[in-house]
A and B are shown apart, each in its own frame.
Chain A
């Protein structure tokens, strides 16, 4: 039975019907009717942010740690443009978001009205889909369709732009039937082709040097997919590596785990990718951080690629067996077919390969020279891991060296525990993402491993954390440098550090106190453990300023334009001579 209500009430009712419990937003003139409707209900909690970019990253953290869509509400004009970075981030990392943007009244659209911008035009290329709702009759359908599109297939952000007069207009609301939705063409394929999967398992049964290369698709396919990946790995005995996005899908404590691969991945993971005879890509996309030089990428292997997005297949790397489907369903089929052939893992057949991998592992590519006098950033993360590994811990990061060190030295055994900006590489992601994660998991330990440069980009969200009593821990590896930029200037630009150092940094302890949180500083390796415990014991938000070695390089590293087997290891001197003219042009 359809009920009469205003557009604003329809928005809120649709959110309730979608099971939304939290939204992240910031009010403004055009959004007032929706805010009024939110004020008059208790089902949905609204988290008031300090900047709309913060709202989008919070929604991303919320979505990545729960598997549900994150919801954002912003006003027209600057509210919408401030959300663009987070929307692009969500698109690149395939994170389900529904972002409601208010718009000036339909009669004013196109008149350069106050706080007007072409939101659907601006966000068209940074969303999976977007809508401008000009009639209240369309609103119930669009609201529900947006959630369907955001959360199914390859997930992504969806924008719904709602003019103020549509928010006021009276319309009838009923939950629409999915079959009557407008876009009948939208039917993502989830079940992989059985013949292709059978062929893939045939290759796996004959492989001598196999490797699983897994990605964010396994996380996006839900916790079941991670379970199935573990089952298949156990069943086959094959080694597993993962992209930055896929960390946690396979337990880092497992002996078959090779560590992360890619530009700052481990020696054993990258060499295994280079020398394998069968690469089984589950939900990763052959990103340039992974492949390095394409024409020298894993030259001797057959490649199986499982992806829910057909356009990811054969985009960067030609594969032998493409399988379009949901990772969870395809893994289930792979397990079933493998079991129908044998119950034995290929331990004996791949023993020489595993022995080779152990030799690579013995290189200890994540090693570093520790110090008694100064805190090494890697050491700080190792200690953080050791002191928190018995807790249910969620890690977010900013972007740069600290992010890569976190990926290398913090270890994950569960999916949905690792939130980082992979595709877009958004500095300032981690602090608001931590807020979003903490909203979803109020009792969990949520830590943002940050750099002192990145964290200042969205520092204002500390105020949000304090307002909602969200006890997030911001673990700042402070080297007074934009460390990764500094490292690249060493590699490529003769050590000329153009604007890559942080002068006039704030006093993070005082800053934390100014926000109403707690500040801690530590620069002594001997006192680090106690300082970390102090951070963990404090029941509110903490800014922890870890003063670390200033000029540490993040290694290992595959330099731009080089294949996997030309990786720079930690004991390499003179990194400034390694990259040639061609590599210098790359990013």
Chain B
């Protein structure tokens, strides 16, 4: 009888949420100060929002500003709340929904370790070349590749490496910026 109850933030929200969740990339400009990352991720966990990917680094040293890129999956109503709740944090300057604005450039970097011998090695190198992956470490039994691109490209490359002796992967998470002359 309660099968259609979904957690939606309000105890009284008894109706099924019909809107489909969407995947959006948010760019958040913040003061670079102790605890800012904890504030942002704490907000996501406290209010039950998802984080699919998170990238943080200082981007303007003189102004002590950092840029946080966060990929989240939520319904449009919740996405609006995420943006407004982030803007409520005192050290947050701006929040841009690059997916909604439709002009985002997204890149990710991955380091991928593949071990193998014989035919596998040459096949691995051919594919790496096709994906413009750089070799950043090599031994007689292994390679470490550096691949940059959209997340989907990295996903495909990793999938291809699985049968060829994939050992481990490390990814930076998404970095995103808007196209054109305007800054944030």
Contacts and interface: CB of A to CB of B under 8 A. Distances in A.
Interface string A124-155: 11001110100000000000000001000000
Contacts of B5: 582, 585
B93 A586 contact: no
Contact of B11 (A186, A295, A586): A586
Contact of A121 (B9, B10, B38, B84): B38
Given A293-B12, A582-B1, A585-B5, A311 B84 contact: yes
B170 interface: no
Interface string B72-109: 00000100110011011111111000000000000000
10 contacts: A132-B35, A182-B31, A185-B31, A185-B92, A288-B10, A309-B88, A310-B87, A560-B12, A582-B14, A585-B5
B12 A585 contact: no
B31 A311 contact: no
A121 B34 CA distance: 11
A186 B88 contact: no
A521 to B, nearest CB: 39
B15 interface: yes
Contacts of B12: 288, 291-294, 560-561, 586
B2 interface: yes
Contacts of A294: 10, 12-15
A106 interface: no
B126 interface: no
Which of A129, A130, A294, A585 has the largest count of B CB atoms less than 10 A from its CB?
Answer: A294
B119 to A, nearest CB: 53
A183 B92 CA distance: 9
A587 interface: yes
Interface of A: 120-121, 124-125, 128-130, 132, 149, 182-186, 288, 291-295, 309-311, 313-316, 560-561, 581-582, 585-587
A526 to B, nearest CB: 43
Contacts of B2: 581-582, 585
Contacts of A185: 31, 90-94
Contacts of A586: 11-12
Contacts of B94: 185
Given A311-B84, A582-B2, A183 B77 contact: no
Contacts of A120: 35
A389 B12 CA distance: 37
B46 interface: yes
Contact of A183 (B10, B31, B80): B31
Interface in B115-154: none
A582 B87 CA distance: 35
B42 interface: yes
B85 A124 contact: no
Nearest to A309: B88
A416 B35 CA distance: 35
Given A124-B39, A582-B2, A293 B91 contact: no
A293 B42 CA distance: 29
Given A316-B10, A561-B12, 4 more contacts: A294-B10, A313-B84, A315-B81, A561-B14
A183 B91 contact: yes
A186 B87 CA distance: 9
Nearest to A126: B46
B88 A124 contact: no
A167 to B, nearest CB: 19
Contacts of A130: 35
B70 to A, nearest CB: 17
Nearest to B12: A288
Contact of A310 (B15, B42, B84): B84
A585 B93 CA distance: 40
Contacts of B85: 311
B67 to A, nearest CB: 14
Contacts of B80: 314
A469 to B, nearest CB: 39
A129 B31 CA distance: 13
A20 B2 CA distance: 53
A295 B14 contact: yes
B17 to A, nearest CB: 11
A560 B11 CA distance: 9
A129 to B, nearest CB: 4
A149 B10 contact: no
Interface in B1-31: 1-2, 5, 9-15, 31
Contacts of B33: 182
A124 B35 contact: yes
Nearest to A291: B12
A163 B87 CA distance: 29
B10 to A, nearest CB: 5
Given A182-B31, A294-B15, A314 B93 contact: no
A311 B90 contact: no
Nearest to B87: A310
A117 to B, nearest CB: 15
